Chain A
Amino acid sequence: MVLRETRRAPDPARQFEENVLAHLDGMYAVARRLTRDATVAEDLVHDATIKALKAREQFEAGTNFKAWLLRILTNTFINGYRRGGLERATFESAHDNGDPIADGWISAATMRSMREPEEEALRPVLRAELSRAVDELPDEFRIAIVLCDVEEMSYKEIADAMGTPIGTVMSRIHRGRKILQQKLQHHAIAAGLIREQPDDASNVVPLAARRAAR
C-alpha cells in the first residue's frame, strides 16, 4: 500500500508540506525573535505551519511563498501569542518624544568606533548587546525589524504581514533602529569603546558646525 502510493504522482498536499518544511529553519529563527523563548517559538511555528497547510488553497501561485508563510507566522503571533494589547499603547507613545539622540545625532567618530576597524561588521562585544536590545524592543518595532533584517522582506510584504500601511512599517523600522543605536552607544561607552558622553552637547552638534570647526 505504501509502495503503491510512492509510485503514484506526488500527492499535492504532501508536496505542499515539503515546500513548507523547506522554510522551517527561517520560520523558527523569526519565531525565536518574536517570542524570545525557544519553547514558545516551537509552539508558534507548529501552529503557523499547520495553519499554512490548511490554507494551502489560498496561496496564489507565482507570489512569494516564504513571505506568505511569514505572514501567517506573524499573524499567528500577533493574534494569539501576545499577552494583551497594552504593550503597544505604552511603548509607541513612550518612544515618540523627540529625544535628540534617539533622533540620530550620534557623531561620525562614535559610529566608526562601534564597527570593527576597516571592516563592515559590528564589533563582537556589541553584537550580543544588539541581540539583547532587539529582544527588548516593543513588539511592533521588533516584528518590523526582524522581518526586514532577518528575512529581508520588502516593506510591502511586512505591511501585509502586520496589517498596517507601509508608512507605519517605515516609521516602526526607523524608530526601532534608533532605539537599538542608542542602546549600542550607551553600551559602547560602558564597555570603554568610546569615550564620548551621549548627553554631551558637543556630541550632537549638527554636521555643518563640525565642518566649520575643522
Chain B
Amino acid sequence: MSACRDTQRALDAYVDGELDASHVLHVEEHLVECSACLERVELARAMKRAIRSESRSVAAPASLRARIAISAASERAAEVEEARPPRAPSWRSALPWAAAAAIAIGIGGGVGAMGDRHGGSTAPKSELLASAASLHLIEDLAGPHAQPLPPEELDPVRIARVFSPIVGVPVRPVRLHHERHGSFSFTGARLLNVSHEPAASLTYNAGDRRVTVVVFDPQRMPKPSCCLSRRTINAGGEERTVFVGRAKGYALAVYERDGVGYAVSSDLGENEVLAMAADL
C-alpha cells in the first residue's frame, strides 16, 4: 500500500525519465510485483505517446516558411542598414523580391483590382469565385482588429523601411483624429497575410477605443464588392469610393488612395470609420 503510494507519487517523473537511478530501481522493483501500478505506468506511457503522435502529425505550412524567410531577409537588410547609417535608403534594391513572390499565391484567378484603375484586365473567372475571394478578403481585413496580435514594430522609420517593400506599397503610420475621441495614439505595426498576400496592420487607440488600419497592395487583392456597400464620399475636395459595412462585429471601411489600399476597422460606428476614411 505504501509502496503503491510511493510509486504513484513518482509515476510522472518515472515515465518522463526524470527520476534518478536509485528511485527508478525502487519503482521497477515494485512494478514487478504490482500489476495495478504497472497498469498505471502503461496507461501514462500510452497517453504520452498518443499526445506526441497526435501533435506531431502536422508540418509547418510552406506559406509560414516563406513568410519567415521574408521577415528574416528584411531583418538582415535592416541590420545592414543600421550598421551603415550614412547610406541613402535603398530598400528597393536590397530587399528580397524573389522571396516576396514566393507567397504570392492569390485566390484562383480572381485577383481583380480594387477601384477602376485595373478593372477588366484581370477580371474574376466567375461571380461566385469573386464573391468567395471577396468574403475572405473582408474577413482577413477585419481579422487584425477582431483578434489583435502584439505589434512587431513601433518605430515609424523602420516600419516604412522594412514593411513597405514586403507589402509592395508605402506603409506609414498616419495621424488619426476623431472629433469626439480626439487624437489617437499609434501603438505599433505588424505584418500579416490578407488573401494570402503580405499586408501590414497599424493599430491606434484613444482610451478604450481602438482603430486598426490595414495597409495592402490593392493590385494583389480582389475587390471587396460582396458584403460591403459602395459609397462615394468627399475627401478633401475629391470624390473617393469607399466600401463600408460590418465584419466580425466591427465597422469596416475599405478604399484605395494613390495606389495604396486601406481598411479601417474600429469599435466606433460605420459613420465614424467613414469619416476617418475621408480624412486619411
User: Judging by beta carbons under 8 Å apart, are A53 and B60 in contact?
Assistant: no
Q: Which B residues are CB-close (under 8 A) to A145? A: 51
Cβ contact within 8 Å between A50 and B61? no
Q: Which residue of A lies closest to B74 (CB)?
A: A50
Question: Shortest distance in angstroms between A48's beta carbon and chain B's nearest beta carbon?
Answer: 10
Chain B residues near A30 (CB-CB < 8 A):
55
Given contacts A17-B72, A112-B39, contact A127 B50 (CB under 8 A): yes
CB neighbors of A among B50-85 (8 A): 50-56, 58-61, 63-65, 67-68, 71-72, 75-76, 79
Query: Are the C-beta atoms of A122 and B50 separated by less than 8 Å?
Result: yes
Cross-interface CB contact of B47 among A45, A130, A146, cutoff 8 Å:
A130
| A199 contacts partner chain B, Cβ-Cβ < 8 Å | no
A179 smallest CB distance to B (angstroms): 12
B58 and A207: CB pair below 8 A? no
Q: How far is it, in angstroms, between the C-alpha of A152 and the C-alpha of B15 when the chains are bound?
A: 11
Asked whether A28 and B71 contact (CB < 8 A) given A111-B42, A148-B16, the answer is no
Cβ of B35 under 8 Å from chain A:
yes
How many positions in chain A have a CB within 8 Å of any CB in the partner chain? 61
Contact residues of B between 1 and 48, Cβ < 8 Å to A? 1, 4, 8, 12-13, 16, 18, 34-36, 39-40, 42-48
Indicate if A54 sits at the interface (CB-CB under 8 A).
yes
What chain A residues lie within 8 Å of B54 (beta carbons)?
A: 127-128, 130-131, 134
Q: Assuming A54-B75, A81-B149, A145-B51, is B46 touching A122 (CB within 8 A)?
A: yes
A21 and B59 alpha carbons, distance in the complex (Å): 12
Residue from the list B4, B49, B65, B79 in contact with A120, Cβ < 8 A: B49
Tell me the number of A-to-B contacts counted with CB atoms below 8 Å. 143
Name the one of B53, B58, B68 contacting A46, with C-beta atoms under 8 angstroms. B68
Query: A50 contacts which chain B residues (CB < 8 A)?
Result: 68, 71-72, 75, 152
B60 touching A27 by the CB < 8 A rule?
yes
Chain A binding surface, main DSSP class: helix
B108 within 8 Å of A by Cβ?
no
B150 interfacial by beta-carbon distance below 8 Å:
yes
On chain B, the residues within 8 Å of A120 by CB distance are: 42, 45-46, 49
Known contacts A42-B61, A115-B42; is-contact A150 B72 (Cβ 8 Å): no
Starting from the known contacts A30-B55, A121-B50, A207-B1, 19 additional A-B residue pairs (CB-CB under 8 Å) come to A21-B68, A28-B61, A33-B55, A43-B149, A43-B192, A50-B75, A53-B72, A81-B149, A104-B8, A108-B36, A120-B45, A127-B54, A131-B50, A146-B55, A150-B52, A155-B18, A170-B13, A174-B12, A177-B47
Query: What is A's interface to B at a CB cutoff of 8 Å?
Result: 13-14, 17, 21, 24-30, 32-33, 40, 42-43, 45-47, 49-50, 53-54, 79-81, 104, 107-108, 111-112, 114-115, 120-122, 126-128, 130-131, 134, 145-146, 148-150, 152, 154-155, 170, 173-174, 177, 180-181, 184, 206-208, 210
What are some 21 contacts across the A-B interface (CB < 8 A)? Answer: A13-B79, A17-B72, A24-B64, A24-B68, A27-B60, A28-B64, A40-B149, A46-B64, A46-B68, A47-B150, A49-B68, A49-B71, A49-B72, A111-B40, A112-B39, A122-B47, A127-B50, A134-B51, A145-B51, A149-B51, A207-B34
